[in-house]
């Protein structure tokens, strides 16, 4: 929204009615098995890091992060595909 507001030169205001009002179409992204490499910084004292390799949909360590049909905590509504 910040980039959209900046490009328009003014704020758009409360956008939820637009997103959830049924006039916008989304592609609901499903399970993705692509691997990603992630580097976590353990602390900011000595700069130590930990490296991880996992898939995009591996949320086994989180009780709230999961994917499903429609809105979910990971991908939201999906990918904007335009106004029908």
Residue-wise pLDDT for 9-51, tens only, equals 999 898 878 777 777 788 887 766 667 777 777 776 667 888 8
Residue 36: predicted pLDDT: 73
Three-class DSSP category at 19: helix
Rounded Cα gap, residues 41 and 51, in angstroms: 9
What is the residue range of 12's domain? 2-82
pTM for this predicted structure: 0.44
How many domains does the structure of the chain reveal?
1
Q: 15-30 in b/e burial notation, b at 16+ Cβ within 10 A?
A: eeeeeeeeeeebebbe
Three-class DSSP category at 36: strand
What's the pLDDT band for 77 if we cut at 50, 70, 90? confident
């Amino acid at each position: 929204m910040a980039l959209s507001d900046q490009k328009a030169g003014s704020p758009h205001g409360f956008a939820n009615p637009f997103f959830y009002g049924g006039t916008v179409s989304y592609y609901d992204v499903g399970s993705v098995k692509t691997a990603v490499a992630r580097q976590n910084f353990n602390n900011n004292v000595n700069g130590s890091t930990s490296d991880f390799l996992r898939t995009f949909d591996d949320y086994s360590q989180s009780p709230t992060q999961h994917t499903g049909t429609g809105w979910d905590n990971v991908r939201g509504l999906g990918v904007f595909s335009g106004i029908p």
